[in-house]
Amino acid sequence: MTKKAASIRLPEQQTNYILENYKNINFGIVSIVDALQIIRKYSLSEIKGVFTPGEWSFFADSLNGTITDGIFRCSKEALIYHCQDAEQLDGTASKWNVDLSQLTAKIEKLTGAQVEALYFRVEQFWENENRDLDAFSNY
């Protein structure tokens, strides 16, 4: 495996977490990134086929430009509130012919890791300059 040197600055809270849980910072960062990659890979595969194309389009549309971090990133309740607000304030669910009660029932069954993977997938869609909403929505 080729390795690359990197210089980073970490907040004290993250540095303390790494040092409390791993033998050193480098090993900790590598372990954490490895774990996150595996969790996202499995969580993305678990949510494949759960949502309709209209629901994925709704997520892409309503979450565009939204920054979700901290505990909210894994909170199905926060995602449900977001969906309700998007409909109430902008009519985004209606725009994509999404039944909010059906969507809410699906979200309620998600794990925290699956909610995070959903956010990650939407963020990756918007980061891609060659985005294709039809391809994204048929997942």
pLDDT tens per residue across span 87-130: 999 999 999 999 999 999 999 999 999 999 999 999 999 999 99
Half-sphere exposure of 19 (CA within 13 A, CB side): 7
Pair 56, 78 in one domain? yes
Domain count, the chain: 2
Pair 32, 69 in one domain? no
The two structure tokens encoding residue 45:
């595969």
Instruction: Say what the pTM is.
Output: 0.92
The DSSP result for 63-81, as a single string, is HTT----GGGGG-HHHHHH
pLDDT tens per residue across span 6-60: 899 999 999 999 999 999 999 999 999 999 999 999 999 999 999 999 999 999 9
Pair 91, 60 in one domain? yes
| Residue 85 φ/ψ, nearest 5 degrees | -65, -40
How far is it, in rounded angstroms, from Cα 22 to Cα 29? 9
Burial class (CB in 10 A: 0-12, 13-18, 19+), 112: middle
Contact, 138 vs 65, CB < 8 A? no
Q: Which domain holds residue 126?
A: 51-137
Pair 67, 37 in one domain? no
Pair 62, 95 in one domain? yes
